[in-house]
Amino acid sequence: DAGVTQSPTHLIKTRGQQVTLRCSPKSGHDTVSWYQQALGQGPQFIFQYYEEEERQRGNFPDRFSGHQFPNYSSELNVNALLLGDSALYLCASSPLVPLTRNGHTDTQYFGPGTRLTVL
C-alpha cells in the first residue's frame, strides 16, 4: 500500500516564474491538504481539496492555487514566485469522515515533501 507521494523531490526556480507541485494521496483517501514549511518553522496550512473543490484555505495569497483530479491526486501551483516562497511544500491526505454535516477530517498522513528554492 503506497503512502502519500510527491513530485518532484527538489526544484529550483527564479523569481517571477511559476511552479507546479504534484501529490498522490494514500490509497483510500479522498481529501488532500497542502502545507508550506519554511526553514526552522512548523508547517503552515495552505488549502484543502475534497471532491475536486477547494474546501478550506489558510492565509495565503491568490498566487497559490490548486487542483484536485477525479483520481484524488492534486496539484499546487504558485505564480510569480518570490524569494520568500522558498520552503518545503508538504501534501497530506486523509479520509473525510461524514460524522457531521460538515464532515470531519480524520488523521492526516504526510508525504515526503518537495523542496522549492527560489533564486
Partner 1 sequence: DAKTTQPTSMDCAEGRAANLPCNHSTISGNEYVYWYRQIHSQGPQYIIHGLKNNETNEMASLIITEDRKSSTLILPHATLRDTAVYYCIVSYGQNFVFGPGTRLSVLP
Footprint (CB under 8 A) of partner 1, residues 39-78: 41-45, 48, 56, 58
Give the separation between CA 51 and CA 68, rounded to whole angstroms: 8
- Residue 3 CA to residue 113 CA, distance in Å, equals 12
The answer to whether 110 contacts partner 1 (rule: CB under 8 A) is: yes
From 11-19, 66-74, 76-84, 105-113, span contacting partner 1 (CB under 8 A) = 105-113
Binding residue count for partner 1, defined by CB under 8 A: 27
Helices and strands of the chain, counted as H and E runs: 0, 13
Is residue 88 a contact point for partner 1 (CB under 8 A)? yes
CA distances from 65 to 40, 53, 57, 59, 117 (A): 24, 11, 10, 12, 18
Query: Around Cβ 86, how many Cβ atoms within 10 Å?
Result: 17
Under the binding rule (CB under 8 A), the answer on residue 95 touching partner 1 is no
Determine, following the binding rule CB under 8 A, whether residue 93 of this chain makes contact with partner 1.
Answer: no
Residues that bind partner 1 (CB under 8 A): 4, 33, 35, 41-45, 48, 56, 58, 88, 90, 92, 100, 102-105, 107-113, 115
